[in-house]
Amino acid sequence: MRADCVSHAALALIIAFACSSSGAETSGKVSFVREIAPILSDQCLGCHQPSKARGGYRVHAFAAASKSGDSGLMPWIAGDPAKSEILSRLITQDPDDRMPQDAEPLAATQVDLFRRWILEGAVFDGPDPSLGLHQLNPLTPHPSPPSAYKHPFPIQSLVLSPDAKLIYAAGRRELAEVNAVTGRLTRRLTNFPERITSLVLLQDQRRIAVAGGSPGRLGEVRIADLREDVQPTVLLRSADMILALAVSPDSRWIAAGGCDASIRLFDPESGLLKKTLEAHSDWVTWLSFQPDGETLTLVTAGRDKTARAFRVPNGELTGAWLDATDPLMATVATPDGRHALSGGRDKRITRWDFADGKSRGTLKLPAREVLQLHRIDNVLWALLGDGCIHTGKLEQDGKAGEFQPLSVKDDELSSFAVSPDGAVLVAGSRTGRLYRWDLSQPEPKPIALGHPFPKSQ
Ligand code: HEC
């Protein structure tokens, strides 16, 4: 089986080029909905929301943001940027007063948007000033996906329904709903961002959380309803790609992270941002939840070569591994919840201890980039840069013996998902194909499910 594993490092590059630092240029009249609201929601909402209104000021909706906070100064006066408190707060040289507080100042182009918008009359161009910011912009649907694909679309993300009957695989601006036994495409779901990087099903199995965006222009997390054709809940719109998503086992929390290095915790029911964690200094590449009795831990990996563990929801840091030599791409906690397994460009999976942040050794695996990790009970699956999924059993503290590769002939796997009972694994490949393994079989063999998306001739 191992002979089928091809040496390939290109998969890692897909993530490497996912983000861009270029800002989008604008012209014409500034739109509150399209240009101001995303900045407020991304940079300000964390401290100025209904439940946590620093300085008595709230920005969760246009109506709220137009009212003054504790100072009594008007945030903006139409046509008069110089008298608008919000603008002074963005440009002041005094670091104690400058907003966003304790963070980099806004880019000059963003400050200019505020200035122009106020000068042009501070017009609200949305349907209802009391609507939440994140509900404004998303009312504009995403463009349609291609009707058919000229080239096979590499499958970077997919999920499997808990009964192992349906696969949802990410395409360009769409999800394919595929019968997980026959491989037949049953539905194409649309109104998604250009690139979809991460998918999770909520516990009710009726809703799916989808993260992605467009490099350098948009980051997004939305929750779509799989049964009914209702308006999606958009949790986040930000300036650059969202790369990682995780849902807590009880579906009470959704965590999202990406190119802006922030980790955001949402309540999927209200759609509200509850907490922002700013512990990484570069892209957040992976998130996974670990329930531990009464408490819940979020384990994270970043391009800043660190992996971390936080208590949810208070955000207390409970562990950090700072000694990795290269960017990290995936991490999971061990069954005892005291260690984590983390890896990435360093081409190994390191087991480290939350207590002291020290390495306790590495797993016996081929030296390849670590792209994705998943654990159920004591079974670990690791997708490596060789295009194979390596699976093995862990001890409580995360020590492991031999790993076995799941591989496909003449193709490289690029994503995978496992049913909650660990009996079925489905994977997507670089050539846009889907595969299935029945892991309860003594020697599981890949079943080819074909291409989910229509091909153009
Ligand atoms: C990390 C937390 C944090 C973030 C992020 C943040 N603020 Fe603030 N903001 C505060 C605190 C604390 C105060 C009150 C202390 C003060 O007035 O400086 C405040 C006060 C303000 C006030 C004055 C309110 C009043 O009337 O007294 C405005 C206006 C404001 N912020 C705008 C913004 C904008 C716009 C952003 C985003 C670009 C932002 N803030 C981001 C923490 C934050």
What's the distance, CA 250 to chain centroid? 18
With cut-offs at 50, 70 and 90, classify the pLDDT of residue 139.
Answer: low
277 lines ligand 1 (CB under 6 A): no
Task: Output the six-digit token pair for 9.
Answer: 């490092």
CB 225 within 8 A of CB 232: yes
Q: What separation in Å is there between the alpha carbon of 90 and the centre of ligand 1?
A: 9
Q: Supply the pLDDT for residue 138.
A: 59
Percent pLDDT > 90 in the chain is 74
Which residues 6+ apart lie within 8 Å of 408 measured at CB?
4, 427, 429, 433, 435, 446, 448
Task: Output the six-digit token pair for 426.
Answer: 């489905």
43 lines ligand 1 (CB under 6 A): yes
133 lines ligand 1 (CB under 6 A): no
With cut-offs at 50, 70 and 90, classify the pLDDT of residue 141.
Answer: confident
CB 374 within 8 A of CB 418: yes
With cut-offs at 50, 70 and 90, classify the pLDDT of residue 63.
Answer: very high
Among 142-146, 195-199, 275-279, name the one with the lowest average pLDDT.
142-146
| Mean pLDDT, residues 146-156 taken together | 95
Q: How do residues 263-300 score in pLDDT, each as one tens digit?
A: 999 999 988 889 999 989 999 999 999 987 788 999 99
Helix (H) or strand (E) holding 91: helix 85-91
Eight-class DSSP state of 181 = T
Beta-bridged to residue 288, according to DSSP, are 299
69 lines ligand 1 (CB under 6 A): yes
46 lines ligand 1 (CB under 6 A): yes
How confident is the prediction for the chain on average, in pLDDT?
Answer: 90
Please return the burial class of 388, using the count of CB atoms within 10 Å of its CB with bins 0-12, 13-18 and 19+.
buried
Q: What separation in Å is there between the alpha carbon of 281 and the centre of ligand 1?
A: 22
Compute the distance between CA of residue 257 and CA of residue 254 in angstroms, rounded to an integer: 10
* Site to substitute for ligand 1 among 40, 42, 47, 118, most atoms within 8 A of C-beta: 47
* Site to substitute for ligand 1 among 89, 91, 109, most atoms within 8 A of C-beta: 89
215 lines ligand 1 (CB under 6 A): no
Q: CATH 2.130.10.10: does it fit domain 158-450?
A: yes
Look-up: residue for tokens 């980039």? 369
With cut-offs at 50, 70 and 90, classify the pLDDT of residue 134.
Answer: low
Compute the distance between CA of residue 364 and CA of residue 393 in angstroms, rounded to an integer: 12
CB 371 within 8 A of CB 386: no
183 lines ligand 1 (CB under 6 A): no
| Confidence check: pLDDT of 188 > 50 | yes
| Mean pLDDT, residues 244-249 taken together | 96
* Site to substitute for ligand 1 among 35, 39, 42, 54, most atoms within 8 A of C-beta: 54
Compute the distance between CA of residue 210 and CA of residue 235 in angstroms, rounded to an integer: 10
Q: What separation in Å is there between the alpha carbon of 48 and the centre of ligand 1?
A: 7
Q: What separation in Å is there between the alpha carbon of 57 and the centre of ligand 1?
A: 7
CB 390 within 8 A of CB 384: yes
Q: How do residues 205-234 score in pLDDT, each as one tens digit?
A: 899 999 999 876 678 999 999 998 888 888
Please return the burial class of 415, using the count of CB atoms within 10 Å of its CB with bins 0-12, 13-18 and 19+.
buried
Compute the distance between CA of residue 352 and CA of residue 355 in angstroms, rounded to an integer: 9
Q: Supply the pLDDT for residue 47.
A: 86
Q: Whose CA is nearest to atom 25 of ligand 1?
A: 69
* Site to substitute for ligand 1 among 35, 48, 58, 86, most atoms within 8 A of C-beta: 48
Look-up: residue for tokens 């229509």? 454
102 lines ligand 1 (CB under 6 A): yes
> How many CB atoms are closer than 10 A to CB 58?
21
Which residues 6+ apart lie within 8 Å of 368 measured at CB?
7, 9, 347, 384, 385, 386
| Confidence check: pLDDT of 399 > 50 | yes
Q: Supply the pLDDT for residue 253.
A: 96
Closest by CA position to 286, among listed 318, 249, 331: 331
| Confidence check: pLDDT of 8 > 60 | no
287 lines ligand 1 (CB under 6 A): no
3-state secondary structure (DSSP) of residue 58: coil
Look-up: residue for tokens 């240009």? 35
Q: How do residues 301-328 score in pLDDT, each as one tens digit?
A: 999 999 999 999 899 999 999 999 999 9
Q: Supply the pLDDT for residue 156.
A: 97
Which residues 6+ apart lie within 8 Å of 356 measured at CB?
none
Compute the distance between CA of residue 321 and CA of residue 336 in angstroms, rounded to an integer: 17
> How many CB atoms are closer than 10 A to CB 326?
15
| Confidence check: pLDDT of 129 > 80 | yes
Q: Supply the pLDDT for residue 27.
A: 53
With cut-offs at 50, 70 and 90, classify the pLDDT of residue 159.
Answer: very high
Q: What separation in Å is there between the alpha carbon of 263 and the centre of ligand 1?
A: 20
Helix (H) or strand (E) holding 319: strand 317-321
Q: What separation in Å is there between the alpha carbon of 61 and the centre of ligand 1?
A: 15
Look-up: residue for tokens 């009391």? 130
| Confidence check: pLDDT of 26 > 70 | no
- The whole-model pTM stands at 0.71
Q: Residues spanned by CATH 2.130.10.10 within the chain? A: 158-450
Q: What separation in Å is there between the alpha carbon of 396 and the centre of ligand 1?
A: 45
Q: Supply the pLDDT for residue 244.
A: 98
Q: What's the first-to-final CA gap in the chain, in angstroms?
A: 34
